[in-house]
Amino acid sequence: MPVEKLHYTNGEVTIVWQPKLCIHSGNCVRGLPRVFNNRTRPWINAEEASTIEIVEQVNKCPSGALSFFYTADEIKDI
Ligand code: SF4
């Protein structure tokens, strides 16, 4: 069964990637290559940029394949 959602965190923010929604525009790879690098595995490394850089780039994903949540919010909900 295909993976619906993958999570990558820098401890402060968690990037969520939904492969089925990705249209491979390459926006993320061009915009923040330290984090989004499809030549490495895993292809997302959230520890390579600040939270604000990640949030700004994730918000530019044209398909909605990328989203994020703040880790502190998740802990608050438990
Ligand atoms: S910006 Fe979004 S749609 Fe484009 S490659 Fe990245 S994850 Fe996929």
Is 59 near ligand 1, meaning CB less than 6 Å away?
Answer: no
Query: What 3-state class would DSSP assign to 58?
Result: helix
Instruction: Find the 77 Cα to ligand 1 centroid distance in Å.
Output: 28
Q: What is the pLDDT of residues 26-77, one digit of tens each?
A: 999 999 999 999 999 999 999 999 999 999 999 999 999 999 999 888 766 6
Chain-centroid distance, C-alpha 44: 7
| Mutation choice for ligand 1 from 36, 61, 67, CB with most ligand atoms inside 8 A | 61
Q: Are 28 and 67 in contact (CB under 8 A)?
A: no
Instruction: Find the 53 Cα to ligand 1 centroid distance in Å.
Output: 16
- The type of residue at 25 is S
The predicted model scores a pTM of 0.91
- Output the pLDDT for position 48: 97
Is 22 near ligand 1, meaning CB less than 6 Å away?
Answer: yes
- Picking from 4, 19, 7, 17, the residue whose alpha carbon sits closest to that of residue 58 is 17
